[in-house]
Amino acid sequence: MQLCWAWGRTLADVGDEMSAPEHALWRALWRIHPRPDSWLQAGVIAAGNAWLWGNKSVRPQDYMPTMKRERTKPQSAAEQMAALSLCAPVRYSDGR
């Protein structure tokens, strides 16, 4: 999908015109040379501007969005067993 986006083409267009070996080569290239992080680039510019105007304590990460994760308490063994008991029993093809 990133390759389609970079080329400004749809997935169907690229899929019709690109062979599997060519696609594998592009994927290998992108693993070696990934695209730059646009959020980090914007954060560097914003932090640089803030630094020039007198705020010396900013970092690029201050201008980047973050995902906040909810902290959950670990389940006890009894809670895990209760959750597993709600699962459907496994039926094997040989009748076990």
CA distance 39 to 37: 6
**Vertex 57, ends 69 and 51: CA angle to 5°?**
115
> Residue 82: what pLDDT?
80
> Residue 13: what pLDDT?
83
> Residue 46: what pLDDT?
92
> Residue 67: what pLDDT?
64
> Residue 88: what pLDDT?
63
Structure tokens at 19: 């062979």
CA distance 13 to 1: 12
């902290």: which residue's tokens? 71
> Residue 96: what pLDDT?
60
Residues of the chain with pLDDT under 50: none
| Nearest residue to 57 (alpha-carbon basis) of 68, 67, 47 | 47
CA distance 9 to 15: 10
> Residue 75: what pLDDT?
79
